[in-house]
Amino acid sequence: ETYREEIPEREFDEGAALPYLGGEREIVVERRASSRVAENTLRLANHHVEQTSIKRAVETLYRRKAREIFEKRANRFADEMGVSYKGIDIRRQRTKWGSCSTSGTLGFNWRLLMAPMEVVEYVVIHELAHLREPNHTEAFWLLVEQQDPNYEEHSEWLAKHGTQLIFSEEDL
């Protein structure tokens, strides 16, 4: 019950603000070819909103941006860590932020885009570290710490603020 009380009440209306990479972005619906994230706004394509809803258009935008951001960060950190991964899946997991399969596919929860970038990067680093160390051993945490010296702070942020990353009741 306490968990449910911490879940934010989101408004999916034009002019409402939603979290994006640790900041707030205002929803704008306009005539445009495709939706995009701008400096302080989520600019949604009117035709997409008319076909679905503002909520679905935002989720689609977040999922698209999640793929771009996770791939860019995974490529960067994989090079630095000397590991390679097979691919990336963008998912709607209820309890996990990331995963790493034995085949080398990384899975990330698109709702992480509502967290600060350093938290996103921590999750990417964490999953990449599993490619070298499958379990949470001391060697695993040393590998994570080499890339993210503040990983404990970022992990604690997720534990403390994870409920703030719930997009809607469908996530429960």
Question: 122-147, pLDDT tens digit by residue?
Answer: 999 999 999 999 999 999 999 999 99
Contact 148, 125 (CB under 8 A): yes
- The answer, yes or no, to whether residue 9 has pLDDT greater than 90, is no
The whole-number pLDDT of residue 167 equals 87
Dist CA 139 CA 124 (whole Å): 17
Q: Which two tokens stand for residue 76?
A: 């960067």
- The answer, yes or no, to whether residue 170 has pLDDT greater than 90, is no
- The answer, yes or no, to whether residue 90 has pLDDT greater than 70, is yes
Query: What backbone phi and psi angles, to 5 degrees, belong to 124?
Result: -60, -50
DSSP 159: H
Instruction: Look at the pTM and tell me if it is higher than 0.85.
Output: yes
